[in-house]
Amino acid sequence: DAGVIQSPRHEVTEMGQEVTLRCKPISGHDYLFWYRQTMMRGLELLIYFNNNVPIDDSGMPEDRFSAKMPNASFSTLKIQPSEPRDSAVYFCASSLWGATNEKLFFGSGTQLSVL
Amino acid sequence: AQTVTQSQPEMSVQEAETVTLSCTYDTSESDYYLFWYKQPPSRQMILVIRQEAYKQQNATENRFSVNFQKAAKSFSLKISDSQLGDAAMYFCAYRGDNYGQNFVFGPGTRLSVLP
């Protein structure tokens, strides 16, 4: 398997623009997580899905952030409108509950810069 | 809610020496999983080692080993024969054994390896 695939790897945008981050989890995994990493706040959980259903979105900063998982192989995190304080690395990760040696597999992250 | 604490924001070690990174967690559950993840400058999150709480034996992976003290809720990582490539951020993480639980991460410890 190719692992968790995120795109784009880097995104530079201007304040007020819409940003969409994409994630393809590992095939067969039933959990998908979105994390945000900044120097000030470390690694924050934004939202996670189980079998495509959002379980906990309490970490989503505000209404400007939304996440969807229309099927088991694709998820998006959208920011509209974007602001400079949204600049961070956004990670997608997936896991399979109950698997032998279950662990969290991370994508390579999207470095978002909002100017 | 579960919390994970890493009290050492930064650590340093001489090459070939041994270093121990601390992690404590708070939970009321009896069954859970603990992890150490490494994040080198490439920003890729890499699993270092995994421990199941019901196993008394401490996990080991080559030069990496843990000291798991369930009663004290402590999960430290020992790196032996430190190498320059071990320089990274290290995150301790917790996941409960109940279906529907997310992974909770600590704030991280930045490890420097001195030649």
Question: Which residues, including other chains, have CB under 8 Å from residue B40's CB and lie 6 or more apart?
Answer: B46, B85, B87, B88
Tens of pLDDT, residues B27-56: 998 889 999 999 999 999 999 999 999 888
In the DSSP assignment, the letter for residue A81 is S
CB contact under 8 A, A48 and B105: no
Q: Does A101 touch chain B (CB under 8 A)?
A: yes
Check whether A100 has a pLDDT greater than 80: no
Amino acid making up residue A46: L
First to last CA, chain B: 41
> Is the distance from CB of B106 to CB of B46 less than 8 angstroms?
no
Which residue of A48, A91, A104, A105 to mutate against B (max B Cβ within 10 Å)? A104
> Can you give the pLDDT at residue B1?
73
Name the more confident of B96 and B114. B114
Question: Which residues, including other chains, have CB under 8 Å from residue B62's CB and lie 6 or more apart?
Answer: none
Q: Does A45 touch chain B (CB under 8 A)?
A: yes
Residues of A within 8 A of B104 (CB-CB) are 45
> Which of B50, B103, B107 is facing A33, going by the closest CB pair?
B103
User: In whole numbers, what is the pLDDT of chain B averaged over residues?
Assistant: 94
Tens of pLDDT, residues B5-32: 999 999 999 999 999 999 999 999 888 9
Which residue of B44, B102, B109 to mutate against A (max A Cβ within 10 Å)? B102
CB contact under 8 A, A108 and B44: yes
Question: Which residues, including other chains, have CB under 8 Å from residue B50's CB and lie 6 or more apart?
Answer: A101, A103, B33, B34, B35, B59
Which residue from B114, B106, B107, B111 is spatially nearest to B88, judged by alpha carbons?
B111
Check whether A52 has a pLDDT greater than 80: yes
Q: Does B105 touch chain A (CB under 8 A)?
A: yes
Q: Please tell me the distance from the alpha carbon of residue A31 to that of residue A49, in angstroms, as a whole number.
A: 6
> Is the distance from CB of B90 to CB of B21 less than 8 angstroms?
yes
Q: Does B102 touch chain A (CB under 8 A)?
A: yes
Q: Please tell me the distance from the alpha carbon of residue B25 to that of residue A90, in angstroms, as a whole number.
A: 25
Check whether A6 has a pLDDT greater than 70: yes
Which residue of A39, A89, A103, A108 to mutate against B (max B Cβ within 10 Å)? A103
User: In whole numbers, what is the pLDDT of chain A averaged over residues?
Assistant: 94
**Confidence category of residue A81, pLDDT binned at 50, 70, 90:** very high
**Confidence category of residue A98, pLDDT binned at 50, 70, 90:** confident
β-pairing verdict for A110-114 and A10-13 = parallel
Check whether A45 has a pLDDT greater than 80: yes
Beta-bridge partner residues of B95: B33, B103
